[in-house]
Structure 1
């Protein structure tokens, strides 16, 4: 027996604890991560070819401490898989669907990610946030995503998705934001998108969508609606209204055609209104002068006519916001 241990019974408790810190301690028993989730994560790593991005995924360590994975502090189940800016090739593994407690799944800026979204994600019934963006994932937007009833955020932007938008996405009643922009989507905007209980922020820009807007959009109050750079046509005037609370409307570079002068009111919250490169006729409504927080405004390349209303924010924008119309005049354009 050494000197310290022989005298322990006579030492104060605080000193005993201090001395114990100086001695080698045994490995802490048990890790936080659930063994099933750990097994699934290792399968995901294997399915992706064991890329360096997942180098910290060591079977000998606690998977709650692994890079891009996050455990719930109470249940210790994996709830987040957040893969951002990774340089590995492959497809989203079907094994992702076995992380059944996932709430957030993100693949963002993984340029060599190809294939499509596996149907196994429908097993992720707790999922609220799904993002697959800035990748080379392609094929049709999966209709089975409508089975993820708890989704509040769906972002499939900046990919190579093609074909039409599934009607079934309109069944996602809890959506707060839907990003399908910057793909190669064709066809019309689904009629079901006009039946959301609460309109999500809707981003459909930079596709090849055709046809008219669903008439049911008139009943919705979007916070943001970006339909720019498509081939949409017809009347879009019902997106405006004094009773709306919309903040961003971007309809630029389409073929919308309606009489703008018939619009009698605008949302007080409107900060961006971009209508450039359409076939919109009539005069600019005087109600535009009552919008107090307009930060961006562009009606160039249309068929508008008459004097630009005086007051409000309209004269703050330069001539390029008004150029190439049939006969618009008045500041900041030449006098009528």
Structure 2
């Protein structure tokens, strides 16, 4: 039922189809939440509801779909965090929850997705022949920077995690490096910070890695030179620094893959400033302007101290004159004497 003009909500009663193996509702205009009745369809191998208008959180009951191999929730309006229990999906080949409004950190438990721990594709190939009669439709997956379409049992030869364009933050978990059978990883257009994990050097089957449009810093790990299958490595629009690793697949990468990292240098870039910890001239000028602006401003507590001192001095003198009549007379007499003395001096000058 994908790519029709279906509107409204997915009916709760769909859960009656408890023997359903594949449900593809992608490319419609469906709204509302994933119905809780769907959790009765625990035999699902494919669930694709991408490119709709679905809202709410990713339901926890999805983690009970132990036969699930393809989960596509992309291009909806889902919110909340990525549930940790999704790591229980031991047969999951494709996890695509890109282009939503998901927040929070990337769960470290995603590094436990069992089928992606296996670095030997021939094992998955055997599974593909066993279940090939289920997969007669197509699934779109973002791979190597482009949307590719996979058909039939070829799907079971692909492993993919796509978290593109959400609002995820914090660092990339080191545990993602455990997924030695992972082919495609897309974490671009989020708010991720920190270093590229050194454990990425263990992703020996990785073909495509997109970390662009984040706030990553630090060096590109030299351990990634081991990734002989990686044909796409996109990190533009970050704050990476240091020298790009030399040799291996890095010798084949495009200039645009590394652009807009002011402190990153080495082939194929021409940047001169590349030492980590150094600020670019623009950054230094900006910091200097901020320091001058801060120094030119009078601290707020200075006003409080000045007013307190003034009030103490004023009432310390005039408070006594108001209360003590004797001192008040003496003060007026002193003022008179000063005034007369001043006038006498003026007459003497004349």
TM-score between both structures, scaled by the size of structure 1: 0.64
1:282 aligns with 2:242: yes
1:100 aligns with 2:46: no
1:149 aligns with 2:66: yes
**Aligned match of 1:61:** none
CA-CA distance at 1:170 after TM superposition: 1.1
**Aligned match of 2:114:** 197
**Aligned match of 1:220:** 179
**Aligned-partner SS, 1:84:** coil
**Aligned-partner SS, 1:245:** coil
Structure 2 unaligned regions, length at least 5 = 117-158, 275-350
Residue pair 1:240, 1:265 contacting (<8 A) in 2 also: no
**Aligned match of 1:84:** 2
**Aligned-partner SS, 2:39:** helix
Structure 1 unaligned regions, length at least 5 = 1-82, 309-313, 315-321, 329-336
Superimposed CA distance per residue, residues 122-145 of structure 1 (whole angstroms, 9 cap, x where no aligned partner): 211221000111110111111110
**Aligned match of 1:70:** none
**Aligned match of 1:42:** none
Q: Which has the higher contact order (CA 8 A, sep 6+)?
A: 2
Q: What is the CA–CA distance in structure 1 between the aligned matches of 2:203 and 2:88, rounded to whole Å? A: 26
The 1:305/1:274 distance shift into structure 2, 3 A limit, reads closer
Q: What is the CA–CA distance in structure 1 between the aligned matches of 2:14 and 2:36, rounded to whole Å? A: 10
**Aligned match of 1:301:** 260
Residue pair 2:236, 2:260 contacting (<8 A) in 1 also: yes
Q: What is the CA–CA distance in structure 1 between the aligned matches of 2:255 and 2:183, rounded to whole Å? A: 16
Report the more deviating stretch, 256-265 or 271-280. 256-265
Superimposed CA distance per residue, residues 221-272 of structure 1 (whole angstroms, 9 cap, x where no aligned partner): 2211000000001122425427612000000000111212644624111111
Q: What is the CA–CA distance in structure 1 between the aligned matches of 2:28 and 2:54, rounded to whole Å? A: 10
Q: What is the CA–CA distance in structure 1 between the aligned matches of 2:33 and 2:27, rounded to whole Å? A: 15
**Aligned match of 1:327:** 273
Question: Going by fraction, where is helix more abundant, 1 or 2?
Answer: 2
CA-CA distance at 1:282 after TM superposition: 0.6
Alignment partner of 1:233 out of 174, 177, 193: 193
CA-CA distance at 1:198 after TM superposition: 3.0
1:162 aligns with 2:73: no
**Aligned-partner SS, 2:27:** strand
The 1:289/1:128 distance shift into structure 2, 3 A limit, reads closer
Q: What is the CA–CA distance in structure 1 between the aligned matches of 2:221 and 2:93, rounded to whole Å? A: 32
**Aligned-partner SS, 2:92:** coil
The 1:154/1:118 distance shift into structure 2, 3 A limit, reads same
The 1:286/1:147 distance shift into structure 2, 3 A limit, reads same
Residue pair 2:176, 2:200 contacting (<8 A) in 1 also: no
Residue pair 1:203, 1:225 contacting (<8 A) in 2 also: yes
Q: What is the CA–CA distance in structure 2 between the aligned matches of 1:85 and 1:243, rounded to whole Å? A: 34
**Aligned match of 2:218:** 258
1:121 aligns with 2:81: no
